Amino acid sequence: MKVLVTGAAGFLGSHLAEKLSLLNHEVIGMDNFKGGYEDNVPKNIIFHKFDCCDLKKMNEVMKNVDVVYHCAATAHEGLSVFSPYEIGKNNFLASSSVFSAAVSNKVKRIIFCSSMARYGHQQTPFSENMKPKPVDPYGIAKVASEDLLKILCELNSIEWVIAVPHNIIGSRQKYDDPFRNVVSIMLNRILQNQAPIIYGDGEQKRCFSYIDDCLNCLIPMLDQKNLNKEIINIGPDEEFVTINQLSEICANVTGSNLTPIYKKDRPKEVKHATCSADKARKLLNYKTQTNLKTGVEKTYEYIKKRGTKPFNYYIDIEIKNDLTPETWTKKQI
């Protein structure tokens, strides 16, 4: 099968493209290298460097493609409140380009990687039958992309699946990104003898997914018939930990005794966020195979082996005021 993976130099996209290639699919990958690393790109795929918003090029690489996995995103939920134009463009407009080219070229199925940000402030664990209530521009862009996908696919008789991964950790994650990926930020700082930074009181709660567990859900979405028109949370719901507890796990894994630095709350941050995995268990036989501590250990070994990096403030902050975290405006991370 011929498969297109957007964001193939990114964290999730590169792993997915590699896995699909190893399963003997013809994989086309594309990325603009803004949110990933060039050496993430699997060697055994056909790769194109361009931005998802380039509709002309998207149509060119989409020819004769059977299935699309749209993984590319500027997945910066917290930052989106302060850079709504950039985050909106790189999520909704980019998705519009991907979906338009896919429909024009008559693909059979589109798998869209959405976000837990679709749920907003609702009772945990979030379930797929909840009405989306995003509270920030990133979540709004993701839900709008979901709606666009459904409209275009239903109009043109194309199958669709919406995957909702959350807080993925593991190798190939962009660990020099100061705006997202809390585990990688903590580990990159600790390895440079800098204390972890925690926003608010650290009692925000999250579940974290190891990359392999997510892939085990995404791969069957390629052609499993009973997944058409399904929205499926992918990731664990067993270890629901606070950011303070996460910091302790990172300290234990690294042997660090650095005391966390606490900063004021980030606006619009959802305090408690995790997804129910019941639907994934039913439809995909999902089972968490890598617990949080092991996932942190593997992420730590990856960063340690690859080498620490200074944080790269590669996205401009559009709105700077008293609400904007000084860790970003003053580049304190």
Asked if residues 288 and 213 have their Cβ atoms less than 8 Å apart, the reply is yes
Catalytic residue among 37, 69, 119, 138: 138
Separation CA 68–CA 112 (nearest Å): 8
> Concatenated DSSP letters for 132-164?
P---SHHHHHHHHHHHHHHHHHHHHT-EEEEEE
Q: Residue 132: is the preceding peptide bond cis (ω within 30°)? A: no
DSSP class of 64? T
Q: Give the residues across from 263 on adjacent strands.
A: 199
Q: Give yes or no: 138 in active site.
A: yes
What gap in Å lies between CA 241 and CA 252, rounded to an integer? 15
Q: Measuring CA to CA, which residue among 185, 315, 166 is closest to residue 261?
A: 185
Size of the chain in residues = 333
Tell me the two tokens of residue 324: 């904007």
Active centre residues (catalytic)? 138
